[in-house]
Amino acid sequence: MKTHSRIPAQGRGGVARYAFCSFVTLSALALQAAPAAAGDIRASVRDRNGKPVADAVVVAVPAGGTPGAGGTPGVAEEDQRNKEFVPYVLPVQVGTRVHFPNNDNIRHHVYSFSTAKTFELPLYSGTPASPVLFDKPGVVILGCNIHDWMVGYIYVSESPHFAKTGADGNATLAALTGGNYTLRVWHPQLEGSELATARQLAVPSAGAVDATTTIGLTPDFRARRAPTPGRGGY
């Protein structure tokens, strides 16, 4: 005995078209949901004795010298606590605005004469109303006109791909588009130039690549922390 579909021929065509459209829609959604292929750089910075180097900035620039895609520069913070700049090294992307809150119970006078950014925040407490815009790549050395031992660094990167090493000397640059990159390392006590640390590195489209850099360090010549006479309690 023959059986017949209860769906009319015209209806069956409509169902087929509906199923095809649903398949196309689901496929498009799946493509949108799929993460972009990206790889990581697991960086390690060591001194000539093999010891880990903290506060080193590791930067990756895509082949061709173009910065590559990255997040929009935002807002960062360079604090002043216990008469010190915190953090000691702050890496940011070009275009970042940095707040300089003073969380001490005394006033500070923050300044920099660096080529990448010259600015001055006269004697103040609390948080200045406006952040400082760092619009040029380079190293900005911070000082306090009241406390000579207060020194800090803001590293302004032209690339959105950067990270700072921790106490273990390690840092991860995550979610980079697969391809060739130039990797550089900078540190406040770096012996020689940052460009001398440059190396070529191939980043996979998935997974991670390890990169260890050995650098020489100069002595730390920061002024000794001591009371500053004649400053009226500042």
Residues 97-152: tens digit of each pLDDT:
999 999 999 999 999 999 999 999 999 999 998 999 999 999 999 999 999 999 99
Tell me: the pLDDT tens digits for 12-60?
455 444 444 444 444 444 434 434 578 999 999 999 999 999 999 999 9
- Give me the residues paired with residue 147 across strands: none
Tell whether the model's pLDDT for residue 6 goes beyond 50: no
Whole-number Å distance between alpha carbons of 150 and 54 = 19
**Structure token digits, residue 86:** 């915190």
| The pLDDT value given to residue 223 | 80
CATH of domain 38-214: 2.60.40.420
pLDDT above 70: percentage of residues in the chain: 78
**Contact yes or no for 12/18 (Cβ under 8 A):** no
pLDDT at 22: 45
Q: How far apart are CA 2 and CA 18, in angstroms?
A: 27
pLDDT given at position 29? 42
Asked if 186 contacts 155 with a C-beta cutoff of 8 angstroms, the reply is yes
Q: Is 152 exposed, middle or buried (0-12, 13-18, 19+ CB in 10 A)?
A: buried
Question: Average pLDDT in the 145-165 region?
Answer: 96
The pLDDT of residue 1 is 46
Q: Region 157-168: what's the mean pLDDT?
A: 97
Q: Is 174 helix (H, G, I), strand (E, B) or coil?
A: strand
Instruction: Note the pLDDT of residue 199.
Output: 97
User: Per-residue pLDDT averaged across 198-206, rounded?
Assistant: 96
The residue extents of the domains of the chain are: 38-214
Opening angle at CA 188, ends 167 and 162, nearest 5: 65
* Residue 193, token pair as written in the block: 């130039």
- pLDDT bin (cut points 50, 70, 90) of residue 69 is low
Spatial distance between the Cα atoms of 85 and 143, rounded to a whole number of angstroms: 9
pLDDT grade for 227, boundaries at 50, 70 and 90: low
Q: What is the pLDDT of residue 70?
A: 64
User: Which amino acid is it at 90?
Assistant: L
What phi and psi values does residue 53 have, to the nearest 5 degrees? -115, 115
Top-confidence range, 25-39, 66-80, 89-103: 89-103
- Write down the mean pLDDT value for the chain: 85
Q: Whole-structure pTM over 0.85, yes or no?
A: no
User: Is pLDDT above 80 for 65?
Assistant: no
Q: What is the pLDDT averaged over residues 169-198?
A: 97
Q: Are strands 138-144 and 151-157 parallel, antiparallel or unpaired?
A: antiparallel
**Start-to-end Cα distance in the chain:** 103
Cis geometry, peptide bond prior to residue 87 (ω within 30 degrees of 0):
yes
Give CA separation, 77 vs 114, 127, 213, in Å.
19, 10, 28
Residue 107: how many CB atoms within 10 A of its CB?
Answer: 16
